[in-house]
């Protein structure tokens, strides 16, 4: 956790995430897709460094929000992970919080720095109030 926190502090201080990842021995990843789905919100991240297959849960941490509900891409590409956030978790995400993926977020070699994720940019989400209208029908 200390490495992830240090990376977030470096990024907040203006260091590019790639530099922060290199300084801390981690990897860099990027947001590939952000989409509302019936289960909540899917956060797809990709990296040039493959996410290894392990007998351990991988976590996405966005500030105080943590999700370990994930899967690899449908084609089995190890460069892509897809996480699911519940509606409640998505509502708690700050667009200024830095996202980190890791099997053991305290170990730099097991950490991928993603950057900030703004949930208001997700595709396919109901417009404000539209969900309430649908539930009333």
Domain range for residue 111?
A: 2-136
d(CA 102, CA 111): 4
Global confidence as pTM = 0.75
d(CA 17, CA 60): 16
Give the residues of the chain that fall short of pLDDT 50.
1-4, 6-19, 21-23, 130-137
Q: Cβ neighbours of residue 72 under 8 Å, at least 6 residues apart?
A: 51, 53, 78, 80, 81, 82
- Token pair of 58 as six digits: 């991988």
Q: What is the dihedral of CA 7, 8, 13, 17, to 10 degrees?
A: 60
What CATH number is given to the structural domain containing 53? Answer: 2.60.40
What's the structural domain count of the chain? Answer: 1
pLDDT tens readout for residues 19-45: 454 445 589 999 999 999 999 999 999
Structure confidence at residue 129 (pLDDT): 53
In sequence order, the β-bridge partners of residue 98 are 116
Angle at the Cα of 65 from the Cα atoms of 105 and 6, rounded to 5 degrees = 40
d(CA 4, CA 12): 12
As a whole number of Å, the CA-based R_g of the chain is 15
């Amino acid at each position: 956790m200390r490495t992830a926190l240090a990376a977030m502090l470096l990024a907040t201080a203006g260091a590019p995430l790639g530099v922060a990842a290199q300084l801390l021995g981690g990897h860099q990843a990027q947001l590939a897709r952000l989409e509302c789905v019936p289960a909540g919100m899917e956060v797809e991240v990709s990296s040039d460094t493959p996410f290894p297959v392990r007998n351990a849960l991988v976590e996405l941490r966005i500030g105080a929000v943590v999700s370990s509900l994930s899967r690899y891409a449908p084609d089995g590409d190890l460069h892509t992970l897809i996480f699911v956030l519940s509606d409640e978790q998505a509502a708690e995400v700050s667009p200024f919080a830095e996202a980190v993926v890791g099997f053991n977020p305290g170990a730099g070699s097991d950490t991928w720095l993603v950057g900030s994720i703004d949930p208001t940019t997700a595709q396919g989400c109901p417009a404000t109030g539209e969900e309430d209208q649908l539930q009333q029908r």
